[in-house]
Amino acid sequence: GHLDVVKYFVEERNFDIIRASIGTQADGKNTLLYVACQMKKENIVRYLIERGAGISRTILDQFPGIISKVIQGYFRSSGHGTYQARLKEMGLAEVSWSFFANHSATLTKVDLHGNSITSLPVELFQMTSLQELDVSRNQLLTLCAEEVSWGCTKQVFKNNYCYIDCF
């Protein structure tokens, strides 16, 4: 199928899914991930994200349904009706509240380390069940104290590293 063809080019022919473009458009609509989203090929979208294809603002805005559905595959039950989101090193440039909205009352841990995130949705900090948030190795410039409404035991910014452990 289509996934086998994509895997062949990525794994056997070293096709660079991050830098390569399809066609001549320069508006972010020429990436392999964009085309896979446009064609509604969920398995290819998942594969490309796992291989480091970045999820741009353009892709988030135009294909929120398929991206959110794929992202939900990275949510794991941690028992007792609670969940953890493991979204580390996925090439995320943006984070949408829609990623977390379905689990806002039951999400205890969010791991976003190793992405290219510059800001976080304010709603993320309003989740009362959230106990741990790892946003290290991102491009966050600030994290406003007003955003963090729960009691934090650790909040350290140094060279774009931040780890927040809350109770």
What mean pLDDT comes out for the span 82-95? 87
The residue among 107 and 20 whose pLDDT is bigger is 107
166, 152 contact by CB (below 8 A): yes
What mean pLDDT comes out for the span 102-126? 87
pLDDT on residue 28 = 61
**138 falls in which pLDDT band (50, 70, 90)?**
confident
pLDDT on residue 143 = 63
**40 falls in which pLDDT band (50, 70, 90)?**
very high
75, 83 contact by CB (below 8 A): yes
pLDDT on residue 151 = 47
Q: Would you give the distance in Å from CA 146 to the centre of its chain?
A: 23
pLDDT on residue 160 = 42
The residue among 142 and 70 whose pLDDT is bigger is 70
**152 falls in which pLDDT band (50, 70, 90)?**
very low
Alpha-carbon distance 84 to 104, whole Å?
A: 11
pLDDT on residue 124 = 84
Q: Residue 143 corresponds to which amino acid?
A: L
82, 67 contact by CB (below 8 A): no
pLDDT on residue 134 = 86
